[in-house]
Chains A and B, each alone.
Chain A
Amino acid sequence: DQQVKQNSPSLSVQEGRISILNCDYTNSMFDYFLWYKKYPAEGPTFLISISSIKDKNEDGRFTVFLNKSAKHLSLHIVPSQPGDSAVYFCAASYSGGSNYKLTFGKGTLLTVNP
Chain B
Amino acid sequence: NAGVMQNPRHLVRRRGQEARLRCSPMKGHSHVYWYRQLPEEGLKFMVYLQKENIIDESGMPKERFSAEFPKEGPSILRIQQVVRGDSAAYFCASNKGNYGYTFGSGTRLTVV
Contact = CB atoms under 8 A, between A and B. Distances in A.
Given A43-B106, A99-B48, A104 B43 contact: yes
B49 to A, nearest CB: 10
Contact of A101 (B4, B40, B56, B100): B56
A42 B99 CA distance: 19
A97 B42 CA distance: 22
Contacts of A99: 48, 55-56
Interface string A49-90: 100000000000000000000000000000000000000010
Given A41-B105, A43-B4, A43-B105, A100 B98 contact: yes
Contacts of A49: 99
B74 to A, nearest CB: 16
A106 B41 contact: yes
Given A32-B99, A100-B99, A101-B33, A44 B55 contact: no
Nearest to A2: B42
Contact of B97 (A34, A44, A100, A107): A100
Interface string B98-112: 111101111000000
A59 to B, nearest CB: 15
B45 A101 contact: yes
Contacts of B100: 46
Interface in A30-49: 32, 34, 41-46, 49
Given A43-B4, A44-B91, A101 B48 contact: yes
Interface of A: 4, 6, 32, 34, 41-46, 49, 89, 93, 99-107
Given A93-B99, A102-B35, A104-B35, 8 more contacts: A43-B4, A100-B98, A100-B101, A101-B33, A101-B45, A102-B45, A103-B45, A104-B44
Interface of B: 4, 31, 33, 35, 40-45, 48, 55-56, 59, 91, 93, 95, 97-101, 103-106
